[in-house]
């Protein structure tokens, strides 16, 4: 998505530790018009796939997932919550992911009530790096017995292994901007 790439080039900041900061429009302050166009783009990609529910993870996936759900006839949007095993009841699906930005394990969970075997799920997230977040979400879809149609990612850091790992498992992954390389000195290069 050319508009998104230009915005990343203009406002993105590459931080040490391989983090791209896009706080000015994607995951702190949100450019809602851009986000709506991101939702439209995901609809172009997955619009024929009879999606019944969008699944994401709190907090930074929610905006893109919301914009996307609106394009799919306002289908329900479910976000996995982050928490610890201690506060989980028996009626939840849960999975563990290693958090890239927080450097630690996190448990994520979704109530049984909000996913069913009849669902055709599109997972949406803001970033794909090592694939931990999307793997954990796909594990939750598996536990629910629902059908995973694919994953829509706003920014994929394609030089990190997550995208390849998921695609090797046969999961359809569509990214709107694929970063081939980035570093604080030389900036960002797209695929």
Indicate the residue among 29 and 116 with the shorter CB distance to ligand 5GP.
29
Q: Does 133 bind ligand 5GP (CB under 6 A)?
A: yes
Query: How many residues of this chain interact with ligand 5GP, rule: CB under 6 A?
Result: 18
- Span of 1-9, 47-55, 108-116, 131-139 interacting with ligand 5GP by CB under 6 A: 131-139
- Span of 82-90, 97-105, 107-115, 168-176 interacting with ligand 5GP by CB under 6 A: 97-105
Least Cβ distance, residue 117 to ligand 5GP (angstroms): 26
Which 3 state secondary structure label does DSSP give 14? strand
Cβ partners under 8 Å of residue 56, min gap 6: 62, 64, 65, 77, 78, 79, 80, 123, 124, 125, 137
Indicate the residue among 59 and 118 with the shorter CB distance to ligand 5GP.
59
Q: Say which residue the tokens 């993105």 belong to.
A: 12
Least Cβ distance, residue 190 to ligand 5GP (angstroms): 14
Q: Which of 147, 178, 141 is nearest to 163 (CA)?
A: 178
Cβ partners under 8 Å of residue 168, min gap 6: none
Q: Does 131 bind ligand 5GP (CB under 6 A)?
A: yes
Asked whether the beta carbons of 146 and 78 are under 8 A apart, the reply is: no
User: Which residues are near ligand 5GP by CB under 6 A?
Assistant: 19-21, 27, 60, 97, 100-101, 125-133, 162
């Amino acid at each position: 998505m050319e508009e998104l790439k230009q915005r990343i080039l203009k406002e993105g900041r590459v931080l040490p530790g391989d983090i791209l900061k896009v706080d000015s429009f994607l995951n702190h302050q949100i450019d809602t018009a851009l986000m709506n166009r991101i939702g439209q783009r995901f609809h172009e990609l997955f619009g024929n796939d009879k999606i019944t529910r969008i699944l994401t993870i709190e907090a930074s996936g929610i905006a893109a997932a919301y914009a996307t759900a609106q394009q799919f006839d306002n289908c329900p949007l479910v976000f996995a919550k982050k928490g610890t095993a201690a506060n989980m009841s028996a009626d939840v699906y849960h999975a563990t992911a290693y958090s890239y930005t927080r450097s630690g394990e996190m448990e994520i969970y979704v109530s049984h009530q909000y996913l069913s075997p009849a669902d055709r799920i599109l997972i949406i997230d803001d970033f794909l790096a090592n694939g931990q977040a999307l793997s954990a979400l796909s594990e939750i879809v598996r536990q629910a017995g629902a059908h995973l149609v694919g994953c829509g990612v706003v920014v994929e850091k394609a030089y990190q292994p997550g995208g390849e790992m998921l695609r090797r498992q046969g999961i359809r992954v569509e990214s709107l901007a694929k970063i081939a390389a980035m570093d604080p000195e030389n900036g960002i290069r797209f695929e």
